[in-house]
């Protein structure tokens, strides 16, 4: 409909080069906030040398030396730490690429385009390089995530990104991608989110977007499907989407936009039946088909509500409330926002509402940088603004598991890591917590940074364990006084679901039936919080550790919490003895956690049928070479599936950790697995990247590059403390 900007044909196209000089990229770490900078000036290059971490992220030679060949598992841990220590950043954390999903970068680039934010040539160039590197080797399209098959979602959006950063439509990569897109049916067959973004660009007409009614936000809290009950990621995306949908806003029409209208579709653009294609979706994109209920609701909204029933007064009221909630999200996160999906959309809302050049827009644009990442392939967008608190917590636990926490060799590294967690603890609740439906967070840690400020129960737990473990190690300072530990525990105790299990950001607030309103099509299980064995275990183990040191603090509640949680973990066990993993791949990951939960109440292989069946499951999946090799397909299909490339070190480490937590009695399978991890270690102490490790929403994979250090070393370290005399060579 209306475009609020004057039509313009002159948005400057970025200059595009073949490549940038990777030796000029630097990652700036400001108290955990990381941003990438390209130094064009030679003097600046000299003044700010590349760190080991920069080189490692960029796939350049780090020049780190060959280390003595490990004789024992503990030597391998020491070698791993010697390497990993060099990657620690000044603030005390380990930066991390967090790529995988292929729908994040488009949101950022479209937002730059819609807000007329210039794209520097080195950014445009590296985005192009990344997308070239990640195009499907056979058909040239892009999928939902880097290992997935080509979809309309991935291909239409990333094709548009490439055009915006300056690619010519006749470039062979573009021709190939376009061919694949057309074979899949073209952009009329895109899922909801893609139709939304393409309408923001003005490549689609808004009629093709299924309704995103802002009025839902006016529903009273008691309504079973009121948005405050939805999983936080869904409601925080729905929020700005509903605002933009309401405005039917599209950015200025340009040559590129006009060209995309011709290139992305199979039909002539002028003849497309926009309204009639709202529900068209390519089968490969349609992981979670819309329910009859949602289809009926959409029909009602489009054909009855919007034309006949909707009043202007109600629409304005809804818009005002949505706008206020967006402001609260921006303020609570200093414009970083929950994740780059809603951050991009909130930026557009501010651009529409506050105008170009406003503080809100400028600050948003700065903050979008926090999620950008550069690696040897090019520039991508991370799933969050980093993995800072999460990875730092695990690294600390590597040392405590390996019994190395008192070794002065690692003291400086651990001191810095502890200082990082000290700085990153969230000290206050959101001031408008109840109005904007936020969970209590005082004393908590986020997955990434305190600025982002979203407590996640397992992130709180892992950080809390790490802090307690270090602060009880002689020689470490008491940075967090007891009250701050109690704050964390108080917050953790708010996380238990009725079932006894824990979820991620909040206890479950709505029924699973809400999945009938899942409009995204490409993801499963997104509408509400579910019971997660991983998160539950983290909380159980954190509370157990806390109780050992502070037996008099809320003892009854903690005891009851743990008892109910472990019971819930047991009830989540599958008939084959495994557990389904929601946040990494898949049965192996979750079974590791479940066995740890059981161990925390003293149940192990020898005295618990749950533990024994979990171990037997893991053992049944061990391969000839001693490793484990589960594939991301397990998450989608919900059946254990092997990865075609064979054993993976991270997967092997998870299985071994699970078995060791369960005191699995036979050392032979453990030795075989440990040997595989040791054999894969490089002479300089690092491990190479293998298949993708993480997942969310059942269908989308995400990378955890630091896991190949933290979990491998944890497995080796646990083995070394359990069997100090075993050499495994
Ligand atoms: C994450 C990353 C961390 C992850 C763990 C802490 C590992 C997990 O145990 C709990 C859930 C959590 C916090 C999690 C939730 C979903 C996230 C934020 C992600 C997988 C990273 C990216 C993903 C987010 C939803 C991506 C944006 C996509 C949308 C569908 C909005």
Task: Judge if the beta carbon of residue 447 lies within 6 A of ligand 1.
Answer: yes
Kindly state the tokens that stand for 85.
């220590």
Distance CA 247, CA 238 (A): 14
535: closest CA among 568, 490, 571, 502? 502
Cα 75 to ligand 1 centre (Å): 34
Ligand 1 atom nearest 98 alpha carbon: 21
Kindly state the tokens that stand for 328.
């609260």
Q: Candidates 696, 698, 703, 705: which one to mutate for ligand 1, based on the most atoms within 8 Å of Cβ?
A: 696
Q: Candidates 383, 538, 700: which one to mutate for ligand 1, based on the most atoms within 8 Å of Cβ?
A: 383
Please say whether the beta carbons of 695 and 634 come within 8 A.
no
Cα 225 to ligand 1 centre (Å): 22
Half-sphere CA count of 60, side-chain side, radius 13 A: 17
Task: Judge if the beta carbon of residue 233 lies within 6 A of ligand 1.
Answer: yes
Cα 446 to ligand 1 centre (Å): 11
Cα 480 to ligand 1 centre (Å): 27
Task: Judge if the beta carbon of residue 702 lies within 6 A of ligand 1.
Answer: yes
417: closest CA among 459, 451, 458, 463? 463
Cα 693 to ligand 1 centre (Å): 13
Task: Judge if the beta carbon of residue 193 lies within 6 A of ligand 1.
Answer: no
Ligand 1 atom nearest 520 alpha carbon: 30
440: closest CA among 507, 503, 491? 491
Element (H, E) at 245: helix 232-247
The pLDDT score that the predictor gives to residue 11 is 60
**Closest CA to ligand 1's atom 23:** 383
Please say whether the beta carbons of 231 and 528 come within 8 A.
yes
pLDDT band at 28 (very low <50, low <70, confident <90, very high): very high
Distance CA 115, CA 578 (A): 48
| 3-state SS class at 410 | helix
Q: Which residues of 7-21 are buried (b: 16+ CB within 10 A; e: fewer)?
A: eeeebebbebeeebe
Query: Tokens 């005082």 — which residue?
Result: 442
Tell me the DSSP string of 283-328.
GGG-SSPPPHHHHHHHHHIIIIIIIII--HHHHHHHHHHHHHHHHH
- pLDDT digit string (tens) for 667-717? 999 999 999 999 999 999 999 999 999 999 999 999 999 999 999 999 999
The pLDDT score that the predictor gives to residue 178 is 98
The pLDDT score that the predictor gives to residue 13 is 81
- pLDDT digit string (tens) for 573-604? 999 999 999 999 999 999 999 999 999 999 99
Kindly state the tokens that stand for 21.
């000089």
**Closest CA to ligand 1's atom 10:** 504
566: closest CA among 605, 531, 606, 597? 597
Average pLDDT, the chain: 96
State yes or no: is 458 an active-site residue. Answer: yes
Please say whether the beta carbons of 282 and 189 come within 8 A.
yes
Distance CA 126, CA 109 (A): 13
What's the burial of 126, exposed, middle or buried (CB within 10 Å: 0-12/13-18/19+)? buried
123: closest CA among 429, 437, 373? 373
Distance CA 649, CA 78 (A): 17
Positive or negative CA dihedral for 193, 194, 199, 202? positive
280: closest CA among 141, 151, 185? 185
Query: Which of 2-16, 72-86, 387-401 has the lowest average pLDDT?
Result: 2-16
Positive or negative CA dihedral for 599, 602, 605, 610? negative
- pLDDT digit string (tens) for 488-547? 999 999 999 999 999 999 999 999 999 999 999 999 999 999 999 999 999 999 999 999
Portion of the chain with pLDDT greater than 70, in percent: 98
Task: Judge if the beta carbon of residue 693 lies within 6 A of ligand 1.
Answer: no
Please say whether the beta carbons of 314 and 215 come within 8 A.
yes
The pLDDT score that the predictor gives to residue 465 is 98
Residue 369 is classified by DSSP as G
Residues 6+ apart with CB under 8 A from 53: 27, 86, 87, 88, 89, 94, 95
Q: Candidates 96, 231, 390, 504: which one to mutate for ligand 1, based on the most atoms within 8 Å of Cβ?
A: 504
- pLDDT digit string (tens) for 274-300? 999 999 999 999 999 999 999 999 999
Assess whether pLDDT exceeds 80 at residue 8: no
The one catalytic residue among 75, 330, 458, 531: 458
Residues 6+ apart with CB under 8 A from 719: 73, 656, 660, 670, 674, 726, 728
Cα 385 to ligand 1 centre (Å): 11
- pLDDT digit string (tens) for 346-372? 999 999 999 999 999 999 999 999 999
Query: Tokens 């679901």 — which residue?
Result: 497
pLDDT band at 6 (very low <50, low <70, confident <90, very high): very low
Give the ipTM. 0.91
- pLDDT digit string (tens) for 42-90? 999 999 999 999 999 999 999 999 999 999 999 999 999 999 999 999 9
The pLDDT score that the predictor gives to residue 100 is 95
Please say whether the beta carbons of 329 and 437 come within 8 A.
no
Q: What is the mean pLDDT of residues 387-394?
A: 98
Q: pTM of the full predicted structure?
A: 0.95
Distance CA 563, CA 569 (A): 10
**Closest CA to ligand 1's atom 31:** 233
Kindly state the tokens that stand for 94.
């380990």
């Amino acid at each position: 409909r209306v475009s609020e900007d004057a039509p313009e044909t002159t948005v400057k196209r970025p200059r595009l080069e073949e490549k940038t000089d990777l030796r000029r990229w630097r990652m700036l770490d400001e108290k955990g906030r990381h941003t990438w900078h390209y130094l064009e000036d030679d003097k600046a290059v000299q003044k700010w040398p590349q760190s080991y971490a920069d080189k490692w992220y960029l796939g350049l030679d780090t020049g780190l030396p060959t280390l003595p060949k490990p004789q024992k598992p503990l030597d391998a841990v020491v070698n791993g730490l010697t390497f990993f220590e060099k990657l620690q950043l000044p603030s005390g954390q380990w930066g991390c690429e967090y790529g995988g999903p292929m729908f994040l970068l488009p949101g950022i680039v479209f937002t730059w385009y819609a807000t007329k934010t210039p794209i520097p040539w080195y950014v445009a160039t590296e985005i192009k390089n990344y997308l070239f590197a990640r195009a499907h080797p056979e058909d040239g399209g892009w999928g939902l995530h880097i290992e997935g098959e080509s979809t309309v979602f991935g291909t239409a959006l990333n094709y548009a990104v490439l055009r915006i950063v300056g690619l010519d439509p006749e470039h062979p990569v573009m021709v190939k991608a376009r061919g694949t897109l057309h074979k899949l049916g073209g952009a009329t067959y895109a899922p909801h989110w893609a139709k939304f973004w393409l309408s923001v660009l003005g490549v689609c007409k808004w009629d093709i977007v299924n309704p995103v009614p802002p009025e839902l936000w006016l529903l009273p809290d008691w309504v079973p499907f009121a948005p405050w009950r939805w999983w936080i990621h869904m409601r925080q995306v729905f929020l700005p989407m509903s605002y933009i949908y309401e405005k039917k806003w599209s950015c200025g029409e340009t040559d590129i936009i006009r060209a995309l209208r011709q290139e992305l579709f199979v039909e002539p653009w002028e003849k497309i039946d926009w309204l009639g294609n709202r529900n068209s979706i390519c089968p490969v994109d349609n992981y979670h088909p819309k329910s009859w209920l949602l289809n009926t609701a959409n029909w009602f909204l489009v054909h009855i509500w919007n034309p006949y029933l909707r009043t202007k007064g109600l629409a304005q009221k809804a818009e005002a409330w949505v706008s206020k909630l967006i402001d609260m999200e921006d303020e609570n996160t200093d414009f970083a926002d929950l994740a780059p999906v809603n951050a991009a959309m909130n930026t557009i809302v501010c651009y529409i509402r506050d105008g170009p050049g406003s503080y809100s827009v400028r600050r948003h644009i700065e903050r979008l940088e926090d999620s950008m990442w550069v690696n040897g392939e090019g520039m991508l967008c991370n799933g969050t603004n980093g993995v800072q608190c999460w990875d730092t917590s695990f690294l600390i636990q590597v040392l405590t598991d390996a019994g190395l926490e008192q070794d002065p060799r690692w003291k400086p590294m651990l001191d810095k890591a502890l200082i990082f967690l000290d700085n990153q603890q969230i000290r206050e609740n959101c001031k408008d917590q109840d109005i904007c439906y936020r969970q209590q967070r005082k004393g908590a840690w986020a997955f990434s940074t305190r600025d982002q400020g979203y407590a996640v129960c397992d992130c709180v737990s892992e950080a809390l364990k790490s802090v307690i473990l270090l602060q009880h190690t002689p020689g470490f300072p008491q940075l967090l006084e007891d009250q701050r530990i109690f704050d964390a525990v108080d917050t953790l105790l708010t996380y238990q679901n009725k079932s006894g299990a824990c979820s991620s950001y909040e206890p479950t607030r709505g029924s699973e039936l809400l999945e009938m309103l899942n409009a995204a099509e490409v993801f499963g299980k997104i509408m509400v919080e579910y019971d997660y064995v991983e998160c539950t275990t983290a909380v159980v183990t954190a509370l157990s550790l806390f109780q050992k040191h502070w037996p008099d603090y809320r003892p009854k509640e903690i005891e009851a919490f743990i008892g109910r949680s472990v019971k819930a973990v047991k009830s989540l066990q599958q008939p084959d003895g495994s557990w389904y993993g929601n946040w990494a791949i898949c049965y192996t990951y979750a079974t590791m956690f479940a066995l740890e939960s059981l161990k925390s109440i003293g149940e192990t292989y020898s005295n618990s049928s749950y533990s024994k069946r979990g171990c037997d499951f893991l053992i049944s999946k061990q391969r000839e070479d001693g490793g484990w090799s589960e594939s991301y397909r397990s998450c989608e299909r919900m059946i254990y599936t092997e990865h075609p490339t064979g054993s993976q070190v991270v997967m092997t480490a998870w299985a071994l950790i699970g078995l060791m937590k369960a005191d699995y009695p036979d050392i032979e399978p453990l030795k075989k697995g440990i040997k595989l991890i040791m054999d894969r270690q490089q002479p300089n102490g690092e491990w190479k990247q293998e298949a993708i490790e993480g997942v969310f929403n059942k269908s989308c994979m995400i990378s955890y590059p630091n896991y190949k250090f933290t979990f491998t070393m944890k497995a080796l370290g646990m083995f070394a403390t359990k069997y100090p005399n075993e050499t495994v060579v």
